[in-house]
């Protein structure tokens, strides 16, 4: 997980703590909105990912995150959560690209493709 945190922090120009929080939010989103078997297998392939998802499960539920989740859920809800920790769109895109590049390296193109194709709109962020 440390390697991913450092890669994300560098790619997005954010602190490692913020990168760790954002990664956890992304994994929690995938667990909630993605195909269960594929996401569980992915998280099992990434040491520390299950714990990051669990830790982030309740984060970003403030007013903005809650409103975004109520309005659109899915990617809109995730964007609201990431915004609530101070991330802008360009940072979100950099984080998404880095997280999914790392996941492809560890879990393979096929599993990532299955997850991305199951979540509407996700492909534009990876």
* pLDDT of the residue at 57: 78
* pLDDT of the residue at 67: 44
Global confidence as pTM: 0.87
* pLDDT of the residue at 60: 45
* pLDDT of the residue at 124: 82
Could you please report the per-residue DSSP string of 16-59?
HHHHHHHHHHHHHHHHHHS-HHHHHHHHHHSTTHHHHHHHHTTT
* pLDDT of the residue at 113: 95
Provide the residue-wise pLDDT of the chain in tens; the chain has 126 residues: 999 999 999 999 999 999 999 999 999 999 999 999 999 999 999 999 999 999 997 554 444 444 444 445 789 999 999 999 999 999 999 999 999 999 999 999 999 999 999 999 898 877
* pLDDT of the residue at 62: 45
Residue 38: C-alpha distances to residues 33, 55, 73, 93, 104 (Å): 11, 20, 20, 22, 13
């Amino acid at each position: 997980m440390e390697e991913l945190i450092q890669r994300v922090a560098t790619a997005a120009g954010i602190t490692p703590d913020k990168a760790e929080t954002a990664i956890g939010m992304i994994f929690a989103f995938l667990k909630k909105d993605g195909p269960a078997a594929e996401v569980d297998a992915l998280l099992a392939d990434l040491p520390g990912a299950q714990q990051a998802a669990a830790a982030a499960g309740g984060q970003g539920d403030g007013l903005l995150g809650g409103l975004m989740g109520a309005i659109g859920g899915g990617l809109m809800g995730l964007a609201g959560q990431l915004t609530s920790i101070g991330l802008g769109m360009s940072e979100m895109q950099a984080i998404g690209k880095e997280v999914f590049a790392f996941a492809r390296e560890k879990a393979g193109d096929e599993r990532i493709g299955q997850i991305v194709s199951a979540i509407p709109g996700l492909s534009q962020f990876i």
